[in-house]
Amino acid sequence: MNKSLKVGIVAIICTFTSADFVAAQNTTKKYGEDSLKCLTNISLYRELHKQKNYRDAYPFWKQVVADCPMSIMSIFTEGPVILENLINEEKDTLVREQYLNELFDLFELRIKIYPKDEPYILGRIGVYMAKYRKNEYKKTFEYLDKSIDLSGAESSPQVLDIYFQIADVYRTKDKLSTEMIMDAYDKVSDIMEMMIDKADLLMESVMRQINKLGEDLETEAISQEDYQATYEGLAKDSAKIANELKQLKNVGNNLDIRFAKIANCDMLKQIYGEKIKTNKDERTLRQIVNFFSKQKCTDNEIYIKAIEELHKIKPTAKTAFYMGQYLHGKKKYSDAVSYLKEAAELYEKEAEMIKAYTVLADCYMQLGQYASVRETANKILKLKPNSGIAYILIGDAYMSSVSNSACNDPIPGAVYWVAADKFAKAKAVADDEKTAEVAQTKLSQAAARFPSTNTAFGNGYQKGQSYSVGCWINETTTVR
């Protein structure tokens, strides 16, 4: 396009006011009054957009918006790209402001034509306002707040992140109370948790399908070709979910870091210490549990009282686990057991079930209920067959049974053989270095306590023979 002509077109178009931009639109016919003109302009702007020639694409795109905005969705998805490039390149303040007005008018038009997109578009308006109209923080907050209320767990992580940042700007500039930012954090963190839980469950489902696929291939239930085709689809799904989880957790970590700078443990105790005396509604209790646990401010009466009250009002896996964890830390193992069993039953995510079972198994260990330790560890193995921790728990239970005479008849110390088997298995399947190191240390400890060769020989056994350990263990091992 001739350079002087291009400049003239842009200059003429940029003299339109925002009202002209809106008023010129034809929303009565899909392709406007002149369908050929509409389709020609669509073709011209899209080709230039594809070439990233946004300045030349702009006048044709704008004409489509004016003549036939109902013609193609891409004017609403590609339009912001065109306008933002012009905004960032423009030196003239007035022209730049005109482009900004057109950007926000475009969002409003999309809501008018596609009402179902309102939750998403309100979020986009808020994001762009935060970027380009920093002084309008109150209005930005309102757009983002409404977007989140309408979108819920379908909110964009970016919207959640910027919402909390704008909430803090709003609080600081208008000198609002700290509780305002705490309410904002409460809203965002709840939604983030729902989104992460959903993604985790999807990932667990995909991984189960991948594992089942591998088993089917080994048993020749499916062909190599079918395996490869299905695996490629599942691998793409898992990669997509992993990327979403990474983004969500990064935003979540950023939120926690910002919140920690605003509300420390002393401040939380000061605010909620008085509030819990008169207000024990579910929302207040949930905030206490959420905020105090995030800030690792859990060793105080306010937190414990809130968990107890919240668990009575609305028992959840989280409240049950927190109660069990607290009682375990206070060495009230018998009391902790019922809460941890409840948490494991209520949790949906395998990782959280495993977390509850692991603390539960340690409670049983401290209570000397070794058969229950193994039973709980086996529940972990059903969820995660390569859990080194589960095998370590069983090995510890076996070692702790050395004082049980029934477990050491006829060879005293034979429990160390079966314990060593479990520690060796833990080391072999461990998926992290720390667990493998713990397993090796315990394996060495068990090996140092093996019955002597003379003891085994004196009882009629030789090295390499099978040997059955009785009592509650009831396992076969090898004489060392």
Q: Which of 71, 65, 78 is nearest to 22 (CA)?
A: 65
Per-residue pLDDT tens digits for 157-214:
999 999 999 999 999 999 998 889 989 999 998 899 899 999 999 999 999 999 899 9
Per-residue pLDDT tens digits for 203-248:
999 999 998 999 899 888 999 999 999 999 999 999 999 999 999 9
Single-letter code of the amino acid located at 132: Y
Per-residue pLDDT tens digits for 47-103:
999 999 999 999 999 999 999 999 999 999 999 999 999 999 999 999 999 999 999
Under a CB-based contact definition with an 8 Å cutoff, are residues 292 and 267 in contact? no
Q: What is the pLDDT of residue 279?
A: 80
Q: Which domains does the chain have, with CATH numbers?
A: 1-113 (no CATH), 117-262 (1.25.40), 397-480 (no CATH)
Under a CB-based contact definition with an 8 Å cutoff, are residues 400 and 370 in contact? yes
- How many other C-beta atoms lie within 10 A of the C-beta of residue 430? 21
Cα 169 → chain centroid: 26
pLDDT of 18 over the 60 cut:
no
Distance in Å from the first CA to the final CA of the chain: 88
The reported pTM is 0.73
Per-residue pLDDT tens digits for 253-267:
898 888 888 888 988
313 is written with which tokens? Answer: 């009002």
Q: How far apart are CA 465 and CA 478, in angstroms?
A: 6
Per-residue pLDDT tens digits for 337-388:
999 999 999 999 999 999 999 999 999 999 999 999 999 999 999 999 999 9
How does strand 475-478 pair with strand 466-469?
antiparallel
* Radius of gyration (C-alpha) of the chain in whole angstroms: 32
Q: What is the pLDDT of residue 408?
A: 82
Q: Which of 90, 18, 31 is nearest to 64 (CA)?
A: 31
Total residues belonging to the chain:
480
Phi, psi (deg, nearest 5) at residue 223: -80, 165
